[in-house]
Amino acid sequence: MFQLLNTILIGITSGAIYSLMAIALVLVWRSTRVVNFAQAGQALLSTYIGFEVIQRFDSYWIALIVAIVAGAAVGALIDVLFMRFLFSRNTQGPIAGVAPIIATLGLLGLIRGGIGIFLGNTEASIRPPVSNVGFTISGHTLAFSPLKFLIVGAVIFLMLALSLIFQRTNIGLALRASAYAPEIARLAGVRVDGIRTLGWALAGAAGAAAGMLQTPNGDGGLSPDSLDFSLLLVFGFIAAVIGGLESLIGAVVGGLLLGLVLAFVLTYVSGSLVFIIAFMVLILVLLLRPSGLIGAKRGRRA
Amino acid sequence: MTLIVSDLCVDHGAIRAINRVSFRVEQGQLAAVIGANGAGKTTLLRSLSGLGHAASGHATWHDHNLLHAKPEKLVRYGVSHVCEGKSVIPELTVEENLNLGALWRKDAKEAKATRENILETFPRLGERLSQLADTLSGGERQMLAIGRALMSKPQLLLLDEPSLGLAPLVIAQIFQNIRELTDEMGLTVVLVEQNAMSALEIADIGIVLNLGRVAATNSAQQLIADPQVRAAYLGY
Amino acid sequence: MHRFQHSNFSRLLFFVLLGGLLFLAGNRVDELRVYQGATLAMYVVAISSLILLTGYSGQVSLGHGALMAIGGYSAALTRNYLSLPIWLCFVIAILTAAIAGAVLGTAAARLSGPYLAGTTLALAVGLPSIANQFGFLGGEQGLLFDVGMPPASFGSDFSPYKWYFWIAASSALIAIWWLQNILRSRFGRIWRAVRDNEVAAQLAGIHVGKAKTLAFTVSSGLAGLAGALLAMTIATVSPSAFPLTLSFALLTGAVLSGVTTLPGVMIGAVTLVATPEIADSISRRFASSENVTMNLPGLLVSTLLVLVVLLVPNGPVEQWRSVRARKSAHAAH
């Protein structure tokens, strides 16, 4: 009974982090029609910035905020410096369709290599800001600690903030309109270039938050070739695909679903199967429901 | 304020879709651009609103060069374009679709007044403000598309086939709306239409396009009376 | 070279001659160069498999490193557990990777760009780490892969590295020759038709899904061969031999070669072989720290990838060709 409860709690916590990453991917996909594989690098860079802030000011909270702001700045910069240039050249030929994808992958390598050169491959680490020892209820230890509470709380807070921006503000309306129908948005006077950069900035912020929350939740380790961040990217992508790649709510649901499935595999089957199962989930969703589990009605062009 | 198009050429890949087209539309006039499928009507309109790229020629509205400008900039100069096929965003509500057109306007109060006016012209939209545009009928969508364009406080309105896929009764309603709006708001309108007769009936002047060239241009009444135009484009 | 491509026979002759030249060259240079020659041949196979996929069938794979891992591990497993002759291990490596590719390709054929890219990337991230978790795959240390000594009849001064080079170079020559043939065949035309316009190809009666799956299968088989060759040159297979950066490097090689120009494959392969050396000489020149030494090769490869995609997306060769074509067209006026 407690094992079941703990599994669910673990699933929700890691799922919440996948959701953030999925949101980051969805935001860029909606604004630019590119799956931004550099997101893992952006999140890593932001988390390193957070780590530096912790070294100086000894406060995880300041670091979290600084990392999120830095993540937004990095995202916006990538769009302005690279993506605009790439799209303005309007390439033709067989590679035109895949060039943006390859470019983001190159950026991922660039960021990781850059961090390695300037900061070294030795593992940095971020200690949990609050205890990661589970709460105890009648002698049983729950897999839900103050840290996990913080993580889930932060994710919920960020999602509420995002949905307020998207649903209630003029900027949000412009963001949605540009995502659904860029041409109509332009005719209505929306400056889509700027709005696209804003989408990249929000995505960068979400990715940074995912990195800053994931690191202390795991072993705290941080390194340029971190497998954790590559896996965060992959799981975020799978979560986004489950949600249909278009929808922010879909990304959240996808992240939670994936988190739960993987937590059950981890607890009841075997830790060594986690990745294989995640990959099979991806293939199954793509084969059976290519427009996502909840994106069926709104499934749009890929 | 006058719309002046002179020697406009637009290429579609290797094909010259618009070939040395020239015409003038004076302020407050409603110009109907008619012609067969593939005559270049939509291409013409897109190059005037910044969506398409002209190869050569000139097009000016007031003091503004319409060619090689971004659509989001032209909107700020008072040029609004309603694309072919009910250009609304189905994922947004009716209210959001309308507000979208006024996002760039600084004065929120004024924008609200514009919205009141539009809802008076199209009361059906007012009843459906909170519905998704996806749930509207074809005619309502067209009203919404025009309403969205009007929210940008245009002086020059470019309409692409508003009658496409609509029932005759609805078409009559929409065309009547277009004429009324032109007169009440002092708009200058370029109306591209396949439905030549209905368009000429409400228009002040008519421009007949054929294979990318201007085949005839005259006042709307005279075009309707012209036997050649009647035979070729009006179907009797 | 064009004169040699008139018929299958003359092309075969060309490749045999090229092979003879290579082997003569192999006897005249030092061990390090011979070793690099083997690596070069491995990259030629790996990059051409990507070129086939992206340039000739319009699909993208960010995870060819994973398919190489499948090839390398199958070769090592069959060699270690079944003690099969080396050529058979290579054949099995090709077949296993091709089967994996067929499965993946069946799914891939229905996926458009971003989904396929994400799926293959997931594979590249996850597959090597799986090897850590199963005992018979040797964990982090991996497995030894020993292709054995060269036949005694080759003489006693025939070093193992030279033997590697012989195997790798002849594999590469055979692979490229075969690839040239298949690209000139019906399949090649079908793939190009699919790449240029899927809808049009479908209307012309081409089964688009099948064509894409076949391209993916063939490409994966070649990647499997490259994986076995890589395993041979480093004498082991381990998760760290097939890192994510390997997939990046292959992509860089393919883009640099110009994804539609198979003959350009040498540009990419030479670059990939030269990069670590250039990086090494840079970091030694400036007496840099360990950080620089470790990360510079990867950084160079990524920088190159970004620059090429931004500046000459169709590859330098294609760019040069089109500039030249424009100039001559200009001159004709």
Tell me what pLDDT residue C11 has. 67
Residue B158 Cα distances to B48, B145, B187, angstroms: 8, 12, 10
B25-52 core/surface letters (b: 16 or more CB in 10 A; e: else) = beeebbbbbbbeeebbbbbbbbbbbbbb
How sure is the predictor about B75, in pLDDT bands with cuts at 50, 70 and 90? very high
Report which DSSP code applies to B10.
Answer: E
Q: Is A219 inside a domain boundary? A: yes
- Which DSSP state fits C234? H
State whether A173 and B51 contact (CB < 8 Å): no
- pLDDT tens sequence across C57-76: 778 888 899 999 999 999 99
For the segment B137-142, the average pLDDT, to the nearest whole number, is 90
Judge whether A133 lies within some domain. no
> Are B81 and A187 in contact (CB < 8 Å)?
yes
CB neighbourhood size of A19 (10 A): 32
pLDDT for position B206 = 92
In this model, does residue C186 exceed pLDDT 80? yes
Give yes or no for residue A276 having a pLDDT over 90: no
Instruction: Tell which residue, A284, A230, A228, A229, has the closest CA to residue A257.
Output: A284
Q: Domain ranges for chain C, please list them.
A: 2-242, 243-333
> What pLDDT score does A296 carry?
46
Q: How many other CB atoms are found less than 10 A from the CB of residue A260?
A: 17
Any chain C CB within 8 A of the CB of A287?
yes
CA distances from B114 to B83, B110, B120, B132, C279 (A): 21, 6, 10, 21, 64
**Chain A positions in Cβ-Cβ contact with residue B130 (cut-off 8 Å):** none
Mean pLDDT for A96-105 is: 83
Taking the CA of residue B223 and the nearest CA in chain A, the distance in Å comes to 31
B80 CB neighbours in chain A (<8 A) are 187
| Radius of gyration for chain C, computed over Cα atoms and rounded to the nearest angstrom | 20
Confidence of residue B236 (pLDDT cuts 50, 70, 90): low
Chain B segment 57-86 residues within 8 A of A by beta carbon are 70-72, 75-76, 80-83
pLDDT at A301: 35
Mean pLDDT, chain A, whole residue set: 87
Residue A211 has pLDDT above 90, yes or no: yes
Cα B153–Cα B156–Cα B159 angle in degrees, nearest 5: 100
Q: Determine the residue among C47, C103, C121 to mutate to test chain A binding: the one whose Cβ has the most chain A Cβ atoms within 10 Å.
A: C121
Q: What was the pLDDT predicted at A42?
A: 95
Contacts of C252 in chain A (CB under 8 A): 106
For range B159-181, the mean pLDDT: 90
Secondary structure of residue B22 in the 3-state scheme: strand
pLDDT at res. C38? 85
Mean pLDDT of chain C: 82
* Domain around A76: 2-121+145-296
* Least Cα separation, residue C87 to chain A (angstroms): 31
Find the helix or strand (DSSP H, E) in which B4 lies: strand B2-12
Amino acid letter, C79: R
CA-based nearest residue in chain A for residue B154: A188
First to last CA, chain A: 42
For the ranges B90-94, C133-137, C165-169, which has the lowest average pLDDT? C133-137
pLDDT at A297 over 60: no
Residue A68's pLDDT is what?
Answer: 96
Domain total of chain A: 1
Which residues, 6 or more positions from B108, have their beta carbon under 8 angstroms from its beta carbon? none
> With bands split at pLDDT 50, 70 and 90, how would you rate the model's confidence at C3?
very low
Q: Is B49 on the interface with A (CB under 8 A)?
A: yes
What pLDDT is recorded for position C130?
80
Which residues from A are below 8 Å from B72, CB to CB? 186-187, 189-192
Q: What pLDDT is stored for residue C332 in this prediction? A: 61
Higher pLDDT, B33 or C157: B33
Q: What is residue B141's predicted lDDT score, i.e. its pLDDT?
A: 92
- Would the CB atoms of A94 and C259 count as touching at under 8 Å? yes
| From C134, C294, C301, residue closest to A109, measured CB to CB | C301
Mean pLDDT (whole number) for B160-166: 89
- pLDDT for C8 equals 64
Average pLDDT score over chain B: 89
> What is the per-residue pLDDT across B82-120, written as a single tens digit (0 to 9) for each?
988 768 999 899 999 999 999 888 888 888 999 998 999
Distance CA C242, CA C310 (A): 27
As a whole number of angstroms, the distance between CA A113 and CA C302 comes to: 8
User: Does the beta-carbon distance from A109 to C121 stay under 8 Å?
Assistant: no
What average pLDDT does this structure show over B174-195? 91
Q: Looking at the domain assignment, is residue A132 inside a domain?
A: no
Do residue B87 and residue A170 have CB atoms under 8 angstroms apart? no
Instruction: Confirm if A225 and A116 have CB atoms less than 8 A apart.
Output: yes
Distance (Å, rounded) from C-alpha A270 to C-alpha A276? 11
- Phi, psi angle pair for B36, to nearest 5°: -70, 170
Segment A217-237 shows an average pLDDT of 86
E strand intervals along B69-221: 79-82, 156-160, 188-193, 205-210, 213-219
Q: For position C5, what pLDDT does the model report?
A: 46
Answer with the residue of higher pLDDT: B138 or A123: B138
Task: Report the Cα–Cα distance between both ends of chain B, in Å, rounded.
Answer: 36
Looking at residue B105, its pLDDT comes to 87
User: Phi first, then psi: what are they for C57, rounded to 5°?
Assistant: -130, 5
Q: Which pLDDT score is estimated for A92?
A: 64
Confirm if B141 and B84 have CB atoms less than 8 A apart: no
Q: Give contacts of A175 with chain B, Cβ < 8 Å.
A: none
Report yes or no on A129 lying in a domain.
no
Instruction: Round to whole Å and give the CA distance between C121 and C100.
Output: 15
Higher pLDDT, B58 or C317: B58
DSSP state, residue B132: B
The token pair at C112 is 């458009």
Question: How far is the alpha carbon of B82 from chain A, nearest alpha carbon, in Å?
Answer: 8
Q: Would you say residue A204 lies in a domain?
A: yes
Judging contacts by C-beta atoms under 8 Å, the chain B residues touching residue A189 are: 72, 75-76, 101, 103-104, 152
Cβ–Cβ below 8 Å for A188 and B81:
no
* DSSP letter string, A77-116: HHIIIIIHHHHHT---STTTTTHHHHHHHHHHHHHHHHHH
Q: Does residue A103 lie in a domain region?
A: yes
**Interchain CB contact of B212 with A (< 8 Å):** no
Asked whether the beta carbons of residue A173 and residue B81 sit closer than 8 angstroms, the reply is no
The model's pLDDT over C5-46, given as tens digits with 9 standing for 90+, comes to 456 666 677 767 777 777 667 666 777 788 888 888 899 999
Residue of B nearest to A168 (CA): B96
Please determine, for residue C174, whether its predicted confidence score (pLDDT) is greater than 50.
yes
pLDDT at A302 over 50: no
Interface of A with C in 15-74 (CB under 8 A): 29, 33-35, 37
pLDDT at C234 over 80: yes
Q: Are the Cβ atoms of B103 and A184 closer than 8 angstroms?
A: no
State the Cα–Cα distance between residues A234 and A244, nearest whole angstrom.
15
pLDDT value at residue A206: 95
Is the per-residue pLDDT at C322 higher than 80?
no
Q: Which residue in C230, C232, C174, C180 sits closest to C18, CA to CA?
A: C174
- Answer whether residue C135 shows pLDDT above 80: no
CA distance A154 to chain B (A): 29
Mean pLDDT in residue range C225-234: 91
- C284 exposure class (CB count in 10 Å sphere: 0-12, 13-18, 19+): exposed
Q: What is the pLDDT of residues B37-58, one digit of tens each?
A: 878 888 999 999 988 888 899 9
Structure tokens at B169: 């009764």
Residue C151 corresponds to which amino acid? P
Parallel/antiparallel/unpaired status of strands B156-160 and B79-82 = parallel
Residues of chain B positioned with their CB less than 8 A from the CB of A177: 89, 92, 96, 100
**pLDDT tens digits along C270-292:** 888 888 888 888 888 876 677 78
Q: Residues A111-150: pLDDT tens digits? A: 998 998 888 777 778 888 888 787 877 777 777 888 888 8
Give me the residues of A, 163-182, that contact B with CB < 8 A: 170, 173-174, 176-177, 180-181
Listed in sequence order, the DSSP H helices in chain C are 8-26, 31-57, 64-82, 86-108, 113-131, 160-184, 186-196, 198-203, 208-234, 244-257, 265-285, 290-311, 316-332
Alpha-carbon gap, residue C184 to C206, rounded angstroms:
17
